[in-house]
Structure 1
Amino acid sequence: MSAGEVIKCRAAVSWGANEPLVMEDVEVAPPKAGEVRVKIMATGVCFTDISASRGKILDVHFPVVLGHEAAGIVESVGEGVTTVKEGDHVITLFLPQCKKCRVCKLDDSNTCLEFTSGSQSRQLMADETTRITCKGKQLLQFLGVSSFSEYTVLKEFNLTKINPAAPLDIACLLSCGFPTGYGGSVKTAAVKPDSVCAVWGLGGIGLATVLGCKHRGAKTVIGIDLNDAKREIAAEMGVTDFINPKEVEGPMDKYLNDKFGCVDYTFECIGNMYTVKQSLECAAIGNGVCVLIGVPPQEMELNILPIHFLLGKKLTGELFGSFKGVDEVPLLVEKYLDGKLPLDKFITHRIKLEQVNEGFDMMKEGKCLRTVIKNE
């Protein structure tokens, strides 16, 4: 039995910006009050992890254990934990749901204040320390998760219990990327039937956005990507018209308007300021909605003309697809088990934890949709 004891295990540690992750022996302390220690069974490689390793987003500091898109099994719980117990299957949540803050009490928002101003924003636990150490140094815990480790400790509201029938190496996709894209079209935009949608960037998040548009009954889904190799999977997910920007002459908004009449919903899934502006320009006058889904570098600013808003366009954004994680992720798991979410098709590679840098390289080079690290 390991409950109450320090667990020694392996983790991929980021010691500094723009440095490769290093496999290290680490110590994971027992959970304190309101915390849960989890054996990580599978974790996805997300571009947010890559951006964090470069020091480009979320004011990340080092040394840190990255990784945030994971599923695992509860090893032990701290005092006062009531929602999970030892042996439960869980999905980690980088966006918590404390159910106590002002935002959690709203019906139409999911941006829990624990994420923006709580200890998690400083990569710490509630007592302003961490539970993972290496060589006598505290390792910061990325997004309250740190799943590039065989074990980690999370606050109770940073995870949710799921049906154990779901394979954890597939269910982990519901921890970040898939809900972020799928919810962008299903919940944030609430795409209307027979509408025209355009999605910039057909990686895992963009394709999940496409699938959401399809499920909401869009008649036309335009997929925009520089990689022609994505045409087949894009069509499978619901893209009716694939466009490579290199083949478009003149402004994209004129091209889309001439070909499709107008675009009701646009989704930017890249995090690039140029394509954010472009997607807003392409949204229809009068009722067009542009949803920002991709995460840009934190120092970037967006320069846009106010006339777009005066002409009736709307620009909005979301985190985690506007889903309230604790309450709604288990429902997505059930939807997967019912055969309604083809999560399997989003996984192109499975690797071991010690291959995490290879996983980063594949994502940077556009050679994968989602790479899953599977722990034995």
Structure 2
Amino acid sequence: MASPLWVAAAVAWEAGKPLVIEEVEVAPPQKMEVRLKILFTSLCHTDMYFWDPKGQNPLFPRILGHEGGGIVESVGEGVTELAPGDHVLPVFTGECKECAHCKSEDSNMCELLCVNSDRGGMIHDGKSRFSSNGKPIYHFLGTSTFSEYTVVHVGCAAKINPRAPLDKVCVLSCGISTGFGATVNVAKPERGSTVAVFGLGAVGLAAAEGARVSGASRIIGVDMNPNKFQLAKQFGVTECVNPKDHNKPVQEVLAEMTNGGVDRSIECTGHIDAMISAFECVHDGWGVAVLVGVPPNDAVFKTNPLNFLNERTLKGSCFGNYKPRSDIPGVVEKYMNKELELDKFITHQVPFSEINKAFDYMLKGECIRCIIRMEH
């Protein structure tokens, strides 16, 4: 039986306040859990969202982080698929392999382990595996990778090729897989087609990369920050549109540019107006729009039903429709085989002791992904 560990973790004590590197106790893994030694992690906008005072979740103190890469240190009762020494990516949504969703080829929305931002403990007993001075510290998205060691459910740990560089493939734990998969698995653009991508952050750039790999002839980036346009060209974007430059709805602008509408669109902002525009800009008869961004809880999607009757399709996507344990090892292999570029997404790197710099880079819009090197 594994023993408790005392390790360094970046604790968010309060919303919006700098993280504090603290010594915390990490309990042994319980039934169907694994304890991981995190070697690299990345900062995602979702971490920022739940850290921000305007976020929708009040759970503090908390250990954030959900884009990480590490090695299994110990396993709990019932774990047979993983062993100490295995290289894994912890993922915010899981795959139990037993529920109806996991058995369906069409879904990755595991009934047991589907993403839940309100959960601050482990599924097995509802308790946290982190504590400081005897008081619990909440988990985040079942991963909490801003810690030298963390405990996750075995269904949220994707075993990968041990030769894969964890400082690169850790970004596949969330944003890059989410955008890339939304394009290749859900939108499925045909070679030579026209694709619009709304939002040119990391997820949107990954969606554009998916369109590029799929052979799209035109990839139109839509964003209200023109500073992103030059960088977007590196990800296959062929032309850019700033809605603020036009006195008509951007969906009308796109329809005029593309002889009636784009073949596919992927929305990666979470803004309801962008979602509506992304749907209304696709071509009647065959156009498909995919929603990826997460809107506010009270958002309402409004469009004329004729847009559906005219044979446009609207789809949603979570984590790129990838099943974490079944599919992510194959996405890692795409990187290893040079079929998927990851290095260009990684613009900054900082040591764990300077993790707050990563927040600064993202707040200023200076980085796509900042890798945080743990300092064991």
Q: TM-score, normalised by structure 1?
A: 0.94
Gaps of 5+ in 1: none
Matched residues in 2 for 1:356 and 1:366: separation? 16
Q: Conserved in 1, the CA contact under 8 Å of 2:38 and 2:149?
A: yes
Q: Conserved in 2, the CA contact under 8 Å of 1:132 and 1:140?
A: yes
Post-superposition CA distance 1:332-364 (Å, at most 9, x none)? 111101111110110000112232332122212
Choose which of 164, 171, 177 in structure 1 pairs with 2:169: 171
Matched residues in 1 for 2:278 and 2:115: separation? 30
CA RMSD after TM alignment: 1.9
Q: Conserved in 2, the CA contact under 8 Å of 1:114 and 1:121?
A: no
Deviation at 1:209, TM superposition (A): 0.3
Post-superposition CA distance 1:246-291 (Å, at most 9, x none)? 3334221222122221211111111111211221221222222111
Q: Conserved in 2, the CA contact under 8 Å of 1:57 and 1:297?
A: no
Matched residues in 2 for 1:96 and 1:55: separation? 27
Q: Conserved in 1, the CA contact under 8 Å of 2:187 and 2:265?
A: no
Q: Name 2:119's counterpart in structure 1.
A: 122
Output aligned runs, 1:117-266, within 5 Å. Answer: 122-125=119-122, 126-261=124-259, 262-266=261-265
Post-superposition CA distance 1:81-131 (Å, at most 9, x none)? 11111111111111100011121111111011123498x852321111111
Q: Conserved in 1, the CA contact under 8 Å of 2:120 and 2:138?
A: yes
Q: Name 1:293's counterpart in structure 2.
A: 292
The alignment-based identity, stated in percent, is: 43
Aligned length: 373
Matched residues in 1 for 2:286 and 2:360: separation? 40
Q: 1:221 to 1:52 in 2, by over 3 A?
A: same
Which consecutive aligned stretches of 4+ in structure 1 deviate over 6 angstroms post-superposition?
Answer: none
Output aligned runs, 1:272-351, within 5 Å. Answer: 272-351=271-350
Q: 1:218 to 1:85 in 2, by over 3 A?
A: same
Q: Name 2:353's counterpart in structure 1.
A: 354
Q: Conserved in 2, the CA contact under 8 Å of 1:196 and 1:220?
A: yes
Post-superposition CA distance 1:117-163 (Å, at most 9, x none)? 98x85232111111111122111111110001111011111101111
Deviation at 1:44, TM superposition (A): 1.0
Q: Conserved in 1, the CA contact under 8 Å of 2:224 and 2:244?
A: yes
Gaps of 5+ in 2: none
Matched residues in 2 for 1:35 and 1:115: separation? 12
Matched residues in 1 for 2:189 and 2:49: separation? 30
Q: 1:189 to 1:52 in 2, by over 3 A?
A: same
Q: Conserved in 2, the CA contact under 8 Å of 1:351 and 1:373?
A: yes
Which letter maps to 1:123? G
Deviation at 1:40, TM superposition (A): 0.6
Q: 1:60 to 1:310 in 2, by over 3 A?
A: farther
Is the deviation greater in 88-97 or in 359-368? Answer: 359-368
Which letter maps to 1:331? G
Matched residues in 1 for 2:296 and 2:352: separation? 26
Matched residues in 2 for 1:188 and 1:57: separation? 28
Matched residues in 2 for 1:178 and 1:354: separation? 25
Choose which of 45, 49, 52 in structure 2 pairs with 1:51: 49
Deviation at 1:57, TM superposition (A): 5.9
Which letter maps to 1:341? L
Secondary structure in 2 aligned to 1:65? coil
Which letter maps to 1:302? F
1:91 aligns with 2:89: yes
Matched residues in 1 for 2:295 and 2:363: separation? 15
Deviation at 1:375, TM superposition (A): 0.9
Deviation at 1:64, TM superposition (A): 1.5
Secondary structure in 1 aligned to 2:69? strand
Choose which of 20, 26, 29 in structure 1 pairs with 2:27: 29
Secondary structure in 1 aligned to 2:70? strand
Matched residues in 2 for 1:236 and 1:341: separation? 13
Q: Name 1:373's counterpart in structure 2.
A: 372
Q: Name 2:98's counterpart in structure 1.
A: 100
